[in-house]
Amino acid sequence: MRIILGVSAGIAAYKACELLRLLTESGHRVRVVPTPAALNFVGAATWAALSGEPVEVSPWESVHEVPHVRLGQNADLVFVAPATADLMARAAAGQSDDLLAAVLLTARCPVIYAPAMHTEMWEHPATRANVATLRGRGCIVLEPASGRLTGPDSGPGRLPEPQELFAVAQRVLARGQAAAEPDFAGRSVLVSAGGTREELDPVRYLGNWSSGKQGYALARTAASRGAAVTLVAANTELPDPAGTRVIRVRSASQLRDVMLAEAGHADVIVMAAAVADFRPAVRSDVKIKKTGAVPDPIVLAENPDIVADLVAARQRPGQLIVAFGAETGDVLANGRAKLARKGCDLLVVNQVGNGLAFGTADNEATVLSADGTEVKLPRAPKDEIADTIWDVVVGRLGSPGG
């Protein structure tokens, strides 16, 4: 694939070197187009050496090749990382005062912006308006990560990690030209992932084997399709997916509280987290010691049914609620019973145990619908499974905001 990696003038430009390496090592032909000011952070020689391609910043270089037109016309993807407030303002205004701005005007392929700037700049009304304009034109503008910024400052505005940006690029490229018009643009998605833990004492808990990989794949692919994504993560060690807002929780009750608090903003809710069905009725404040005597039985209490609570609290018109069912035995029969019991719109059911689903890089499942239809998802990487689930979901949604 032919990729234009646009680099604008932010300190996070150094991270784009790693993104470039990931793209080229995966077999893509990458041409770096920095803004003139970006060369203050990473020089042209570095970009040329890493890409194996010439580096130009002005439409007046190699004029016989008409680069300000040809580069955008011939690209399969344009990815701007980092995208500064200035670059996005110029792109939103349709300016073409340097080569990168001109490329953005001529590109007819998917365009991704990965913003990076100080929190105050990201939250300024002018920047928010420019982001809305770009998204309204079909561009994918990822949400920045939160964390340490330049100097002592911290907050939203950090460039996501290169590996996660690379994952977004791969998903967009996999969707091809269909990604040029993001089908989740203007939609808000709430996804849970991971496995809850219920404390028995300060050092022990009841939990499950969920790694969170499928939920993270759902969050990542939704962002790559233009959605505003909130990911509620329970006890995972995975890096934050690029373009998502992440809220971390530990127990089922914490997960329930956050999901209900965030649900009112979501067009789609996906409960991919593995929620512990039970918790210790009493948590010991001190470590339970082994004394040699037979211990008292641990009394368990039932955890809330978060999906049922979300269905009961549903107020947003047209909101779609998707649950997951990790099953053994007669998987489809158990899944249909769970779908009926919970009252959600879709249930993604898959077999677990003996090396299946939990912790693996791939998955297979069946999407059951309340109207009786079934969509089988053959074994595939979890990102591909996630995209197929979103294909089912988008076909059932009304217009954004409707």
- Pair 298, 165 in one domain: no
256 and 326 co-located in one domain? yes
Using 50, 70 and 90 to split pLDDT, how confident is the model at 60? Answer: low
pLDDT number for residue 227: 95
- pLDDT grade, residue 123 (50/70/90)? very high
Same domain, residue pair 322 and 364: yes
Q: Examine the domain organization and report whether 208 and 136 are in the same domain.
A: no
Residue at 401 is within a domain = no
pLDDT tens-digit readout, 126-157: 999 999 999 999 999 999 999 888 878 888 99
pLDDT (mean) for 317-323: 94
Q: Which residues are catalytic?
A: 208
In a domain, 402, yes or no: no
Confidence (pLDDT) at 397: 87
What pLDDT score was predicted for residue 355? 61
Residue whose tokens read 């982001």: 131
Answer whether 0.85 is exceeded by the pTM. yes
Does a structural domain hold residue 254? yes
Find the mean pLDDT for residues 358-386: 89
User: What pLDDT was estimated at residue 401?
Assistant: 53
**Whether residue 197 sits in one domain with residue 154:** no
Provide mean pLDDT across the span 53-67. Answer: 75
Whether residues 353 and 251 share a domain: the answer is: yes
Same domain, 292 and 225: yes
When mean pLDDT is compared across 40-44, 151-155, 163-167, the lowest value belongs to: 151-155
Asked if 19 and 142 sit in the same domain, the reply is: yes
Q: Please, what is the average pLDDT of the chain?
A: 91
Please report the pLDDT score of residue 295 as a whole number.
75
CATH number at residue 23: 3.40.50.1950
Instruction: Output the pLDDT for position 66.
Output: 57
Q: Give percent of the chain with pLDDT exceeding 70.
A: 95
Question: Residues 339, 384: one domain?
Answer: yes
Residue 62 is predicted with a pLDDT of: 67
Would you say residue 94 lies in a domain? yes
Given 150, 180, 210, which residue is the final one in a domain? 180
Compute φ and ψ for 237, nearest 5 degrees: -115, 20
Domain tally for the chain?
A: 2
Cβ–Cβ < 8 Å for 130, 89: yes
CATH number of the structural domain spanning residue 239: 3.40.50.10300
20 and 146 housed in the same domain: yes
Instruction: With respect to residue 62, please indicate whether it lies within any of the assigned structural domains.
Output: yes
Domain of 38, in residue numbers = 2-180
Q: Does residue 215 lie within any of the structural domains?
A: yes
In a domain, 399, yes or no: no
Residues 11, 58 within the same domain: yes
Q: Are residues 213 and 344 in the same domain?
A: yes
Strands (E), 202-286: 204-206, 228-234, 244-249, 268-271, 278-280
Domain closes at, from 160, 180, 200: 180
**Residue 400 belongs to a domain:** no
- The predicted-structure confidence for 376-392, as pLDDT tens digits, reads as follows 999 999 999 999 999 99
Check whether 358 has a pLDDT greater than 90: no
The mean per-residue pLDDT over the stretch 195-201 comes to 94
Asked which of 147, 180, 213 is the last residue of a domain, the reply is 180
